[in-house]
Amino acid sequence: MRPLFVLLILFSLAGCASKGEGEQTTSQRARGIATIHTELSAAYYGREQYAIALQELGIALQADPTYAPGYNVRGLIRMALHEDEQAETDFKRSLKIDKNYSDAYNNFGWFLCQRGRAKESLPQFLEALKNPLYTTPEVAYANAGLCALKAGELSTAESYVQRALILRPGMPEALYGFADINFAKGDYASAKSYLLRFQQSVQDMNAEQLWLAVRIERKMRDRNSEASYAMQLGKRFPESREAQLLQMGE
């Protein structure tokens, strides 16, 4: 979350607090507390300060146990901590409270996809996209594309990623998606082209992205580039599954 946005919320709540007691109901005050502490929690989550983020959410949900975004953010934190059972419970609770909460559908879908449940994840992204008021449908399309590819649905994956790029040309996640899709199709030159465009739009690549880069360059027989990506993968993510695959000669 942008610090400015959090600051604006602080000013907004301060303005509410200055009003007469009769102008603000107990439920409004509770929702205001829940909102600001959830936004603070999201900011700490973005900095990987998970313990503080959970403390902020404790305050938020104690004030208003019916605040769906609080459970959504807590689901993301617990996902990061690999507390998978609790994360799934939080996402489901968020959606039980608000059946039109597209961000929670998208995040729950991504959680399922990352936990090896790619086929289960796809309906969640589609639910997110049903909401005409969803402000970032390109995110759900890109995630659906990556997860459809993991589910072995190549043509579906390509269709979703294409929609993401139409909505947001140059979207990094969509560019990476096309690199991955073209690699799966055996079109290694196109895969490399999309990967290079993706690299230009991000600061660093994670283990999964570096591993794709290694495999693309291996197919392209560019040994120098392959070695460079392999070195980055081994140095930055030595404990990752991808680094282990590299060491095994996969």
pLDDT tens string 105-141? 999 999 999 999 999 999 999 999 999 999 999 999 9
pLDDT in the model for residue 23: 52
pLDDT in the model for residue 249: 75
In a domain, 87, yes or no: yes
| CB within 8 Å of 50: residues ≥ 6 apart | 44, 77, 80, 81
Average pLDDT over residues 50-54: 97
For 131-240, where are the alpha helices, taking DSSP H only?
Answer: 137-150, 154-167, 172-185, 188-200, 207-220, 223-236
- Running DSSP on this structure, what letter comes out for residue 249? T
* Residue 173 contacts residue 143 (beta carbons within 8 Å): yes
In a domain, 37, yes or no: yes
One domain, residues 69 and 87? yes
* Residue 67 contacts residue 38 (beta carbons within 8 Å): yes
In a domain, 199, yes or no: no
Q: How confident is the model at residue 15 (pLDDT cuts 50, 70, 90)?
A: very low
Better-predicted residue by pLDDT, 7 or 132: 132
Average pLDDT over residues 190-214: 95
Share of the chain above pLDDT 70, in %: 90
Length of the chain: 250
What is the secondary structure of 19-71 as a DSSP string?
S-GGGS-HHHHHHHHHHHHHHHHHHHHHTT-HHHHHHHHHHHHHH-TT-HHHH
Enclosing domain of residue 112:
100-193
Choose the final residue of a domain: 98, 116, 131: 98
pLDDT in the model for residue 14: 38
Q: How confident is the model at residue 24 (pLDDT cuts 50, 70, 90)?
A: low
| CB within 8 Å of 36: residues ≥ 6 apart | 6, 9, 10, 13, 60
- Which uninterrupted H or E stretch holds 92? helix 84-97
**Taking all residues of the chain, what is their mean pLDDT, rounded to a whole number?**
90
242 burial (CB, 10 Å; 0-12 / 13-18 / 19+) is: buried
One domain, residues 114 and 81? no
Tell me the CATH number at 104: 1.25.40.10
Share of the chain above pLDDT 90, in %: 87
Q: How confident is the model at residue 86 (pLDDT cuts 50, 70, 90)?
A: very high
pLDDT in the model for residue 6: 35
Q: Is the pLDDT of residue 41 over 50?
A: yes
One domain, residues 26 and 54? yes
Is the pTM here over 0.75, yes or no? yes
* Residue 111 contacts residue 79 (beta carbons within 8 Å): yes
One domain, residues 211 and 152? no
pLDDT in the model for residue 26: 86
Q: Is the pLDDT of residue 71 over 70?
A: yes
One domain, residues 115 and 184? yes
pLDDT in the model for residue 182: 96
pLDDT tens readout for residues 139-188: 999 999 999 999 999 999 999 999 999 999 999 999 999 999 999 999 99
Better-predicted residue by pLDDT, 143 or 249: 143
Distance CA 20, CA 17 (A): 8
Maximum alpha-carbon separation in the chain: 73
